[in-house]
Structure 1
Amino acid sequence: MKQWHLIIDVEKCVDCNNCFLACKDEHVDNDWPGYTRPQPRHGHRWINIMRTERGQYPIIDVAYRPTTCMHCQDAPCIKAAGGSIVKRPDGVVLIDPDKAKGRPELVKACPYQAIWWNEEQDVPQKCTFCAHLLDQGWKKPRCVQACPTGALKVEYVADAEMSRICQTNNLEVLQPEYNTQPRVFYQNLYRFTKCFIAGSVAVNNNGVIDCAEGVRITLFSDREKLSAVVADNFGDFKIDNLPGNSGQYSLEIEKSGFKKATVTVELTTSQNIGTVYLG
């Protein structure tokens, strides 16, 4: 059976908030009977752009992670709702605006903090995947339609096909330890969750300090080679997708005609090691 899935590419999100504004445009002051009550003008963020900054000056990396209802296959909110939250055959999870009325405790049922309380309407609310539009024949919700960079896209496919898409594109879910089987998948999530080691390399050419283009930097952990990169024409390099608080690493920095340099890094968070000079 085909179901809806949302794919979010952290690499492509630029924090423009078009998705957030499109959601507001669709739901503020608009009542969609059977789907949801009007969204408040202020306070709710049914698609919330989370932000993180990694590294130290001058090598800094900023990433944005759109976060919304995960439309989980094994949704904790459904278990807590006693019939007031349901999963449709197409995979969309909806809060019944009548049955859930007067139940603020359901806000805490979502481990992703994707449910919001509407004080005026006396009802919990969240992303509906624009189910009212899908039921009219739309091929995508408003947030996806409004995204100018392609950071958001949908797939309406069976689970087997979605598994293939996940494997092909290295997709992963947010907080896999929750075991909720989300139908929202992330690409390049490491930009938000992992760390990097970065720096610059310079050489001394007869008393002239210059950027070391083409230097090879190899990363080791306990003498095991993990990866290797080549410095760009500014001598800059970055080795990404490393676990935080993962201990000691060593970098071997090599360029033909120069003595090899070795740098040891204790990685707690993303680390800019500064400039390494080859003599």
Structure 2
Amino acid sequence: MKAFYIDLSVCNGCYCCQIACKDEHVANDWTPYAKPQPDTGQFWIGLTELVRGQVPKVKVTYIPKMCQHCDDAPCIEQCKFDAITKREDGLVLINPDKCTGCKLCKDTCPHDAIFFNEGLNIAQKCTGCTHLLDNDDEWTVPRCVDQCPTDALRFGEEDDFKDFIKDAEFLNPEAGTKSRVYYKNLPKKFVAGTIYDPVEKEVIIGAACTLKDNESGESFTATTDNFGDFWFRKLADDRTFTLTIDKDGKQKVIEEIVTDKDLSLGDIPMTL
């Protein structure tokens, strides 16, 4: 079974995937796989830029989003005209010749991955470039994957990507649709800050920072770097933490740190 594998840690936001998809499908009729994609208004693979934190502690994550080619695809169940099918290789297709434009699939998709072409009165989405995979021996991956310069996007048999899958997640797991698009390094909450000595007016290097989850009791540790900065990454959502900072026998405690969003605690004064 085929699947997509996306590692966000190496996606640099170049938009090559999005551009390649447009290049392949705009003004090109690949019936029965797909009718032409409109010039504007549709991105069968689209890059979402997620900016997190507050200045100066900010992180940017680029997230490619597409049809999830679900094993339990609600769009297939909702289609009354057998226009949507799941292939033996795992990819889900909308047959443009059978689509009646009822929009049930678009309204049902929990991933917002189906678009409606008003001009052609049909639903459209990512096809996995099956017109290439089926008819050209030189093509073993979709255009978006072929054009990715960092290998953030990959495509192939699940058996060949077992090591990737064991550490991967679904983008929208609460949908329960058994996605065939696996993501690694999806953004998690972070807490960061800078420790400084207000008397010396210098950052404090080498301070031991401990962040404790008040609910689970789990603790995370970090040490301030040459800029006095500390970072705690991959934290659970909506948890309350207590931060303890130790340096040269002095201690500072900050309570009620809530990860309802990514947090920059700013400059934290600590007199040694």
Structure 1 length-normalised TM: 0.89
Letter in 1 for 2:209: I
- Where does residue 266 of structure 1 map in the other structure? 257
Deviation at 1:162, TM superposition (A): 4.9
Whole-Å Cα distance in 2 between the matches of residues 32 and 226 of structure 1? 54
- Where does residue 16 of structure 1 map in the other structure? 14
**Which of 233, 239, 263 pairs up with 2:232?**
239
- Where does residue 189 of structure 2 map in the other structure? 195
Aligned partner of residue 63 in structure 2, secondary structure: strand
Letter in 2 for 1:178: A
**Which of 245, 257, 260 pairs up with 1:253?**
245
Deviation at 1:258, TM superposition (A): 4.2
- Where does residue 50 of structure 1 map in the other structure? 48
Report Cα offsets for 1:128-160 as digits up to 9, x if no partner.
Answer: 0001111123121111111122221113234xx
- Of stretches 129-138 and 216-225 in structure 1, the one that deviates more from structure 2 is 216-225
- Where does residue 134 of structure 1 map in the other structure? 133
- Where does residue 186 of structure 1 map in the other structure? 183
1:106-121 aligned at under 5 Å gives the runs 106-121=105-120
The question of whether the paired residues in 1 share the 8 Å contact of 2:74 and 2:105 is answered with: no
Q: Which sections of structure 2, spanning at least 5 residues, go unmatched?
A: none
Aligned-pair RMSD on alpha carbons?
1.8
- Where does residue 59 of structure 2 map in the other structure? 61
- Where does residue 211 of structure 2 map in the other structure? 219
Letter in 1 for 2:127: T
Whole-Å Cα distance in 1 between the matches of residues 100 and 40 of structure 2? 20
Aligned partner of residue 233 in structure 1, secondary structure: coil
1:25-44 aligned at under 5 Å gives the runs 25-44=23-42
Whole-Å Cα distance in 1 between the matches of residues 140 and 177 of structure 2? 25
Aligned partner of residue 25 in structure 1, secondary structure: helix
Deviation at 1:188, TM superposition (A): 0.7
Deviation at 1:164, TM superposition (A): 4.8
- Where does residue 92 of structure 2 map in the other structure? 93
Aligned partner of residue 224 in structure 1, secondary structure: coil
The percentage of counterpart residues that share the same residue type is 39
Whole-Å Cα distance in 2 between the matches of residues 163 and 21 of structure 1? 29
- Where does residue 122 of structure 1 map in the other structure? 121
Using a 3 Å threshold, how does the CA distance of structure 1 residues 209 and 225 change in structure 2: closer, same or farther?
Answer: farther
Structure 2 length-normalised TM: 0.91
- Of stretches 95-104 and 173-182 in structure 1, the one that deviates more from structure 2 is 95-104
Whole-Å Cα distance in 1 between the matches of residues 192 and 205 of structure 2? 15
Letter in 2 for 1:250: T
Aligned length: 266
Whole-Å Cα distance in 2 between the matches of residues 265 and 24 of structure 1? 47
Q: Which sections of structure 1, spanning at least 5 residues, go unmatched?
A: none
Deviation at 1:69, TM superposition (A): 0.2
The question of whether the paired residues in 2 share the 8 Å contact of 1:218 and 1:225 is answered with: no
- Of stretches 72-81 and 219-228 in structure 1, the one that deviates more from structure 2 is 219-228
Flag as ranges the 4+ runs of structure 1 deviating above 6 A.
none
The question of whether the paired residues in 2 share the 8 Å contact of 1:244 and 1:270 is answered with: no
- Of stretches 65-74 and 45-54 in structure 1, the one that deviates more from structure 2 is 45-54
Deviation at 1:163, TM superposition (A): 5.1
Whole-Å Cα distance in 2 between the matches of residues 153 and 178 of structure 1? 23
